[in-house]
Amino acid sequence: MGEARNVAIFGATGSIGASALDVIARHPDRLRASVLAAGSQVDALVALCVAHRPTHAVIADESRYAALRDGLRDAGLSTRAHAGGAALDALAASDACDTVIAAIVGAAGLGSTLAAAHAGKRLLLANKESLVLAGELLMAAANGANAEIIPIDSEHNAIFQCLRSRDTQGDVRRIVLTASGGPFRGRSRDSLAPVTPEQAIAHPKWSMGPKISVDSATLMNKGLELIEAHHLFDIPGHKLAVLVHPQSLVHSLVEFVDGSTLAQLGLPDMRTSLAVGLGWPQRIESGVAGLDLLAHGRLDFEAPDSDAFPCLRLAWQALEAGAAAPAVLNAANEVAVSAFLQGRIGFLAIPALVEDTLTALSAAPAESLEALLAADAQARRFAESKLTEHAVTGHAHPHE
Ligand code: NAD
Ligand code: MG
Contact between 261 and 254 under an 8 Å Cβ cutoff? The reply is yes
With a 6 A CB cut-off, is 127 part of the ligand 1 pocket?
A: yes
Instruction: For residue 139, tell me if it sits in a domain.
Output: yes
What is the C-alpha to C-alpha distance for residues 374 and 372, in angstroms, rounded to an integer?
Answer: 5
- Average pLDDT value over all residues in the chain: 96
Quick one: which atom of ligand 1 is closest to the CA of 12?
Answer: 9
Closest ligand to residue 251's CA? 2
314 backbone φψ class: left, alpha, beta (φ>0; ψ -120 to 50): alpha
Which residues lie closer than 8 Å to 260 by C-beta, 6 or more apart? none
What is the C-alpha to C-alpha distance for residues 102 and 110, in angstroms, rounded to an integer?
Answer: 9
pLDDT along the chain (400 residues), means of 10: 88 98 98 98 98 98 98 98 98 98 98 98 98 97 98 98 87 97 97 97 92 98 98 97 98 97 98 98 98 97 97 97 97 98 98 98 90 98 97 60
Contact between 83 and 64 under an 8 Å Cβ cutoff? The reply is yes
Domain region containing 134 = 5-151
Contact between 13 and 44 under an 8 Å Cβ cutoff? The reply is yes
Closest ligand to residue 208's CA? 1
DSSP string spanning 346-378?
-TTHHHHHHHHHHHHTTT---SSHHHHHHHHHH
Expressed in angstroms and rounded, the spacing between residue 377 Cα and the centre of ligand 1 is 20
Quick one: which atom of ligand 1 is closest to the CA of 17?
Answer: 26
CATH code of 146's domain: 3.40.50.720
| Strand ordering across the sheet containing 56-59 | 80-83, 56-59, 31-38, 5-10, 99-102, 122-125, 148-151
CA distances from 251 to 10, 11, 16, 85, 301 (A): 24, 23, 17, 33, 12
Cis-peptide into 281, omega within 30 deg: yes
Instruction: For residue 180, tell me if it sits in a domain.
Output: no
Give the mutation target among 10, 36, 101, 105 for probing the ligand 1 site: most ligand atoms within 8 A of CB. 105
CATH code of 383's domain: 1.10.1740.10
Q: Mind listing the pLDDT tens digit for each residue in 220-240?
A: 999 999 999 999 999 999 999
pLDDT of residue 2: 64
Instruction: For residue 81, tell me if it sits in a domain.
Output: yes
Contact between 344 and 392 under an 8 Å Cβ cutoff? The reply is yes
| Listed residues 151, 174, 205: the one ending a domain | 151
Give how many domains the chain has, as a whole number.
Answer: 2
Instruction: For residue 121, tell me if it sits in a domain.
Output: yes
Give the mutation target among 59, 208, 227 for probing the ligand 1 site: most ligand atoms within 8 A of CB. 208
Q: Mind listing the pLDDT tens digit for each residue in 43-72?
A: 999 999 999 999 999 999 999 999 999 999
With a 6 A CB cut-off, is 208 part of the ligand 1 pocket?
A: yes
Give the mutation target among 62, 104, 400 for probing the ligand 1 site: most ligand atoms within 8 A of CB. 104
Closest ligand to residue 206's CA? 1
Instruction: For residue 328, tell me if it sits in a domain.
Output: yes
Instruction: For residue 388, tell me if it sits in a domain.
Output: yes
| Listed residues 105, 121, 151: the one ending a domain | 151
Cα dihedral sign, 363-175-210-138: negative
Q: How many residues does the chain have?
A: 400
